[in-house]
Amino acid sequence: MTIVLGIESTAHTFGVGIASSDGKIFANVNDTYRPVSGGIHPREASEHHSKVAYKILKEALSISNFSIKDIDGIAVALGPGLGPCLRVGATLARFLSVSYNKPLVPVNHAVAHIEISRLDTGFKDPVIVYVAGGNTLITSFKDGRYRIFGETLDMPLGNCLDTFAREIGLSYPGVPKVEEIAKKGKKYIEMPYSVKGQDLSYSGLLTHALERLKEGKYSLEDICFSLVETAYSMLTEVSERALAFLNKNELTITGGLARSKILCMKLKEMAEDHGALFKAVSPSFAGDNGAMIAYTGALALNSGVTISLEESYVSPLWRMDEVDIPWRKD
């Protein structure tokens, strides 16, 4: 059994988790930066991370009852994410690795969302819908890697709804608030449904929804209802094709939008139509968190994946399908 301390700092959350390769989570302590107004400002988020880092690290160790000597390795999410934020986690990880002579383990943030979802749901080989403020893609394991079977070509789904929320004066995170308003909508207003093969486009949908709002002809409730309905149906359509073509019998959702009851219901109904099981990752593991980096780091270290200090630069655009997954077999 390998025990790893993992550091998450790719976007608005700074987190430290401690987990073992056999799937025990010993600590998962996170602190999320909330902008007073507007979206995430990378520099402000990174300042938040620097401020809370020591406190979060100490708390994680104390909750786990481990001392750093008991830890086999230090994992860190090196990407994808915001450069200034990533550098806070990477700097702390390098410091711990050198000071305590522990191997440094690189973790791809998207792969970590997937692995925590597999652990939490107990699914062995699911199709995974990964949706958050910064990502929208459908993936599954094939030939040693998580391959992408559809993704957004422009704006992530979470960002589309968060931006709409901000434009109508709602604070971050906007998705649950937009959904609440959407539940009161009754009439569907035509919206651009942009599915291109297996890929999605959300920027036109956002523009269209904001324009309908400015016209003043439609109620906010109907616009939110139509926006949410269209955005989630597009994602459900490409997920359905992935599930059918890959012939898999498990579907999961991971990332912040896994907390959306409306989206989960759509995916569940679709999965059941295909005789597949559906489970969403638990809310505590849905958003960015340290535990997912620690657990994925433990799987990686167990398979011999480490990185030298010199090579441990951050990769803001690191794609998950570039990452070998030696802990899984086809």
Residues forming the site for Fe ion (CB under 5 A): 132, 288
Residue closer to Fe ion (CB basis): 132 or 148: 132
Residue closer to Fe ion (CB basis): 31 or 240: 31
Least separation in angstroms between CB 10 and Fe ion: 6
Least separation in angstroms between CB 163 and Fe ion: 17
- Could you count the other beta carbons within 10 Å of the beta carbon of residue 41? 17
Residue closer to Fe ion (CB basis): 72 or 288: 288
**Amino acid symbol at 218:** Y
* The residue to which tokens 């939490």 are assigned: 120
Q: Say if strands 25-32 and 73-79 run parallel, antiparallel, or are unpaired.
A: unpaired
Least separation in angstroms between CB 109 and Fe ion: 6
Residue closer to Fe ion (CB basis): 40 or 182: 40
Least separation in angstroms between CB 146 and Fe ion: 14
Least separation in angstroms between CB 106 and Fe ion: 16
Q: Which residues, in sequence order, are CB contacts of 187 under 8 Å at separation 6+? A: 218, 222, 225, 226
- Are 257 and 202 a contacting pair, CB within 8 Å? no
Q: How many CA atoms lie within 13 A of 200 on its CB side?
A: 29
For residue 6, the cross-strand partners are: 17, 75
Residue closer to Fe ion (CB basis): 191 or 253: 253
Radius of gyration of the chain (CA): 20
Report the Cα 82 to chain-centroid distance in Å. 14
